Amino acid sequence: MATDEKKVFKLGGLPWWQAVIAVILCAVPMYWGIQSKSMVGTLCSCFALAVILYELGERLPIWNNYIGGGLLMAFFGVALLKYFKIIPEEALENINRVISGDEVNLLEMYIIFLISGSVLALEKDILLKSFAGYIPTILGGLLFAGIFGVVAGLLFGVAPTTTIMKYVLPIMGGGNGAGAVPLSNIYEQVTGDAAANFYGFAIIVLTIGNIFAIVGSAVLNTIGEKVPWMTGDKKTLVRGGENITRDDAKVKSTVEDMLGAVVLTFACYCVGRIMSKKLLPTIAGAAIHAYAYMIIFVVILAATGLVPAGVRAGAKRIQSFMSGVLGMVIMVGMGADFDIAELFNVMTPGNVVMALAIVVGGAFGAGLIGYVVGFYPVDAALTAGLCMANRGGSGDLACLGAAKRMDLMAYAQLSSRLGGGIVLIIASFMFSFWLK
């Protein structure tokens, strides 16, 4: 019986015919206009879209190994279905509200559990080595992104100062809300010109850079598979760190341990909110995101050894569930919020080449400096390079999904949050020096 079960073609963990029936049942209310607007109803719509697209991406030749697999197929597939108006507008609105809206925001819950699980799974010395070398790695990515971008800009007659301000800083700024928007505000404060004049172009090049970052992440995964010495177990940056990563399989975690992990994760998130909203919202004029403070606090807890082994293992189990099950749903949400027409409209040769050069430079610089400080170059290039060049939280998910390295979420968030803060500090000085 067990042998026969293994031979059954499966979709989403179910025998294919059961999965197809389940998908149809979840899709009917969405297309009939009777789907509940609650979180449960919206998740039914998400799974109806995710299961088939995810399995297609995992099984489609070339796409599964070189483009990004199931998670990226869920992202681009939903974006295309949205573009061709195959998904009802009401369903798209509900998905956006539940996945990344202000009131529900499953994306936020997804990210904080990935952060706590990935950090708590590491031993003290790995934590200290990785986070101590991470800021130099980010700076290396920024430096080479600027060099590559300036060289490409000169080919199209763009002045180096313009390239840095209008191309490099927006692309490497940590996304939209944490990057392009505050950069636009800094621009307005310094020049007196409307922030929208800067933002309109910044979001264009950021969009192009985000696509290159996602595709580049899949390329890095392929490089890691072809050249094993350049990467580890896809869970840690430090070379040799996989040998001392905590083995959660040897630690029994109970339901009570998982409850402790949930409570601890929410408490750490609240520490981040308190720090970012009240106690220390800015450093050197740059706003610091709650995720950045949360990461720092979780690292401190893990490094002190105060968290019981069972709770650490529980956090890891929750993280595995989030990345393995909820990940495809989150990517559906990202695709529903992505305007693929915007991408088609901005693909001018100059913008494309310059954005590509900046993204490649960021990955190269982060990989190079990362190797110098003791990191695996592939993983350093991904987290400190490409996760700086994408559109923030959603871009981090797409990049890590394409690279099959969701366990590196804490580092990706450091890039988007702390790295984005570093870019804002740099921008404050550069705008004041060049534009006044």
Q: What percentage of the chain's residues is helix, strand, coil (to nearest 5)?
A: 80, 0, 20
Which of 101-105, 190-194, 203-207 shows the lowest per-residue confidence on average (mean pLDDT)? 190-194
pLDDT for residue 104:
86
Identify which has the larger pLDDT, 149 or 248: 149
Name the token pair of 389.
């060049």
Q: Which residues contact 260 (CB under 8 A, 6 or more apart)?
A: 308, 310, 311, 314
Instruction: Supply the pLDDT for residue 242.
Output: 65
Sign of the alpha-carbon torsion through 406, 411, 415, 417: positive
Q: Name the residue with higher pLDDT: 207 or 255.
A: 255
Q: How confident is the model at residue 423 (pLDDT cuts 50, 70, 90)?
A: confident
412 and 399 in contact (C-beta within 8 Å)?
Answer: yes
Taking residues 220-224, report their average pLDDT.
Answer: 94
pLDDT confidence tier of residue 20, bands split at 50, 70 and 90: very high
User: Quick check: 7 pLDDT over 70?
Assistant: no
Name which of 32-41, 63-72, 252-261, 398-407 the model is least confident about: 63-72
Local structure of 166: helix, strand or coil:
helix
Please give the pLDDT value at position 201: 79
Residue 355 has pLDDT above 90, yes or no: yes
Q: Name the 3-class secondary structure at 194.
A: coil
Give the best-scoring range by mean pLDDT among 58-72, 284-298, 363-377. Answer: 363-377
pLDDT reading at 4 higher than 60: no
pLDDT mean over 85-90? 95
Contact 314, 260 (CB under 8 A): yes
Position 1 scores a pLDDT of 41
Cα radius of gyration rounded to whole Å, the chain: 21
Over residues 374-389, the mean pLDDT reads 94
φ/ψ of residue 33, rounded to 5:
75, 25
- Tell me the one-letter amino acid at 112: I
Angle between helices 393-403 and 327-336 (to 10 degrees): 130
The confidence band for 2, taking pLDDT boundaries of 50, 70 and 90, is very low
pLDDT tens for residues 132-187? 888 899 999 999 999 999 999 999 999 999 999 889 999 998 776 557 767 777 77
What is the per-residue pLDDT for 66? 59
CB atoms within 10 A of CB 429: 11
Give yes or no for residue 3 having a pLDDT over 50. no
Residue 194 has pLDDT above 80, yes or no: no
How does residue 360 score in pLDDT terms, banded at 50, 70 and 90?
Answer: very high
* Lowest-confidence segment of 192-196, 266-270, 373-377 by average pLDDT: 192-196
Strand ranges (E), 102-209: none
**Which residue from 216, 241, 245, 174 is spatially nearest to 378, judged by alpha carbons?**
216
Map residue 184 onto helix, strand or coil.
Answer: helix
pLDDT in tens, 97-107: 998 887 888 88
- The amino acid occupying position 425 is I
Is the pTM value of this prediction over 0.85? no
Pick the more confident residue, 139 or 189.
139
Residue 379's pLDDT is what?
95
* Coil/strand/helix, residue 226: helix
Q: Which residue in this structure is represented by tokens 């409209």?
A: 345
Percent of the chain with pLDDT over 70: 89
**Residue 14 bridge partners (DSSP):** 11
DSSP code, position 238: B
Burial category of 369 from C-beta neighbours within 10 Å (exposed 0-12, middle 13-18, buried 19 and up): buried
pLDDT at position 302 is 85
More reliable by pLDDT, 14 or 341 = 14
Residues 376 and 378: their CA atoms lie apart, in Å, by 6
Q: What is the structure's pLDDT at 150? A: 96
Contact 149, 354 (CB under 8 A): yes
- Got the DSSP string for 240-296? TGGGSS--GGGS---HHHHHHHHHHHHHHHHHHHHIIIII--EETTEE--HHHHHHH
Write down the residue that tokens 């000169």 correspond to: 154
Computed over every residue of the chain, the mean pLDDT equals 85
pLDDT at 67: 62
Name the percent of the chain lying above pLDDT 90. Answer: 42
The whole-number pLDDT of residue 65 equals 64
Q: CA 375 to CA 379: how far, in whole Å?
A: 8
Nearest Cα neighbor of 117 from 413, 402, 338 is 413
Q: What is the pLDDT of residue 145?
A: 96
pLDDT recorded at residue 337: 82
Q: Does position 375 have pLDDT exceeding 80, yes or no?
A: yes
Cα 79–Cα 83–Cα 89 angle in degrees, nearest 5: 90
Q: How far is CA 15 from the centre of its chain?
A: 31
